[in-house]
Amino acid sequence: MTSIGGILTGGIFTMLAISGYASSAQAAPTCKNGPIQVGAISTITGLSDFSDAPKATKATFDQLNDAGGINGCKIEFTIADDKGDPQVAAQAARDLIDNKGVVALAGGASHLDCAVNAGIYNRNGILSVPAVGIDPLCFNAPSISPVNVGPYTLSTVMLDYAAKDLGAKKLCAFFIIIGGTKEAYANALAAWEKASGKKVALVDMTLPPQGDLTPYVIKARDTGCDAVLTNQVEPGAVQWVKTADAQKISGINWLFLAASYTEGVAKALAYSKQPIYIGTEWEPYTENSAANSDWTKTMDKAGLKKTAFSQGGYLAAKVMIDTISGIDGEVTRDSVTAALKEGKKLKYPMAGSTYVFGDAKAHSPMKSTKVMQLVDGKWTVKTSDWYSLPQAE
């Protein structure tokens, strides 16, 4: 298995026990004012439901609390629904910061939280560890560092996979542009072109969120594309492949991002013979692997669905737990912010890259994926090791 600049190799991973601990003999977190307040802003009602992410974060914190907390300190977690409304998102941020007194945010998944609230977080000296970063500002703000790879880095990685592992010679890209994502997707393509010395043969950023996809699929065929990358989410991904089937198209590898890695897509396209590939954000959630074992146990105990979003929520909670565990003294907004900005490297089995927040103008620490192929209605791992971008460690 190949990658740009080489494959990430795993180091020795040390997981902190989740049983009423301080992270070391030197660190002793304290909480004289009561439970440690942490919050998340997610889109739960409205156009999308990303509730799997913060629910998983809460379940992970609840498991910690049931075991006695961190050096006796428990975490009280508040989930705010932004309803897909910028005004509601801003109000939610102010409530969490001013009224709830949260020390940090963790586990959110929202179309607009980063775009609306990045400046608010920065002005208030508070940091956010989203479960799922979506908007470009999630990866380009000093106050935010997601635990997921994100659609932009993943676009670069999937192009590289198609060229190197699938042997694609004429790569094409079709994107739906929502909000300010056009520049971010353009930069993702440019990053691959710079690293590979090759050019994307066709870039079309006029893909509609809804409507007939036939002209676009035919355009890919007539251009001679042998690999096509698109950022369609579940319904659109299904429609795209079914349109290719209806047009009797063959010889094109279809590449999708993590949002299309669902059981719904697998079921809907079970009988398609089109070559379909997706890039994951973390260890494939459909795999019963050792890397997923603790997440699986946590979700099962809480009675929650095991989805990619819940992986992100679990991982964001782990980052916050491990960060707080390293604080020696009172856990406050200032001490949590300082601990995250310190840049401690955190390695988890379900992530292909080492997570680091650090003190920087922008954060995009996760650079690795595992590629899945849909075969007879089942997602199948194509890369047993992580497929990575350079400087992922």
**CATH number of the structural domain spanning residue 185:** 3.40.50.2300
- Assess contact for 176 and 210: CB atoms under 8 A: no
State how far the Cα of 149 lies from the Cα of 153, in Å rounded to an integer: 6
372: β partners: 278, 381
Same domain membership, residue 242 and residue 169: yes
Task: Say whether both 142 and 291 belong to one domain.
Answer: yes
Q: Are 257 and 303 contained in the same domain? A: no
Mean pLDDT of 317-329: 98
**Residues 311 and 332 occupy one common structural domain:** yes
Q: Which residue has the tokens 């929650």?
A: 304
Report the domain count for the chain: 2
Q: Of 280, 313, 337, which residue is a domain's last?
A: 280
Residue 319: inside a domain, yes or no?
yes
Is 298 a domain residue?
yes
194 belongs to a structural domain: yes
pLDDT attached to residue 47: 77
CA distances from 234 to 221, 231, 278, 305 (A): 22, 10, 12, 17
286-302 mean pLDDT: 97
Residue 175's pLDDT band (boundaries 50, 70, 90)?
Answer: very high
Clarify whether residues 144 and 157 are in a common domain.
no
pLDDT at 11 over 90: no
Q: What whole-number distance in Å separates Cα of residue 229 and Cα of residue 107?
A: 28
Taking the CB of residue 9, how many other CB atoms lie within 10 A of it?
9
Asked if residue 4 has pLDDT above 80, the reply is: no
Average pLDDT, the chain: 92
Where residue 389 falls among pLDDT bands split at 50, 70, 90? confident
The pLDDT confidence band at residue 179, using thresholds 50, 70 and 90, is: confident
User: In which band, very low, low, confident or very high, does the pLDDT at 390 lie, cut at 50, 70 and 90?
Assistant: low
Span 17-46, pLDDT tens digits: 333 444 445 679 999 999 999 999 999 998
For the cut 60, the answer to whether the pLDDT of residue 143 exceeds it is yes
Mean pLDDT over residues 66-94, rounded? Answer: 97
Written as one letter, the residue type at 93 is A
Task: Write down which residue in 280, 304, 327 finishes a domain.
Answer: 280
Exposed/middle/buried for residue 271 (C-beta within 10 Å: 0-12, 13-18, 19+)? exposed
- Identify the pLDDT of residue 48: 84
Helices (H), the chain: 52-66, 86-94, 113-123, 151-164, 182-196, 214-223, 234-246, 263-268, 293-302, 308-325, 333-341
Name the token pair of 119: 């400046």
Q: Which of 262, 280, 298 is the last residue of a domain?
A: 280
Q: What is the pLDDT of residues 337-354, one digit of tens each?
A: 999 999 999 999 999 999
304 and 359 both lie in a single domain: yes
Q: Is 255 part of any domain? A: yes
pLDDT tens string 115-139: 999 999 999 999 999 999 999 999 9
Q: What is the pLDDT of residues 194-213, one digit of tens each?
A: 999 999 999 999 999 889 99
Residue-wise pLDDT for 247-282, tens only, equals 999 999 999 999 999 999 999 999 999 999 999 999
Question: What residue numbers bound the domain in which 236 lies?
Answer: 151-280
Residues 204 and 292 in one domain: no
Bridge partners, 204 (sequence order): 174
What is the pLDDT, as a whole number, of residue 27?
A: 77
Is the pLDDT score of 393 beyond 60?
no
Based on the domain organization, do 179 and 276 belong to the same domain? yes
Given a contact cutoff of 8 angstroms between Cβ atoms, the answer to whether 175 and 187 are in contact is no
Q: Are residues 60 and 136 located together in one domain of the fold? A: yes
Tell whether 376 is covered by a domain. Answer: no
Q: Do residues 157 and 269 share a domain?
A: yes
184 is a domain residue: yes
Are residues 271 and 168 both part of a single domain? yes
* This prediction's pTM: 0.90
Report yes or no on 226 lying in a domain.
yes
What integer is the mean pLDDT of 50-78? 97
Q: Is residue 337 part of a domain?
A: yes
User: What is the per-residue DSSP string for 107-166?
Assistant: S-B-SSHHHHHHHHHHHTT--EE-SB--SGGGGS-TTB--SS--HHHHHHHHHHHHHHTS
The answer on 134 and 46 residing in a single domain is yes
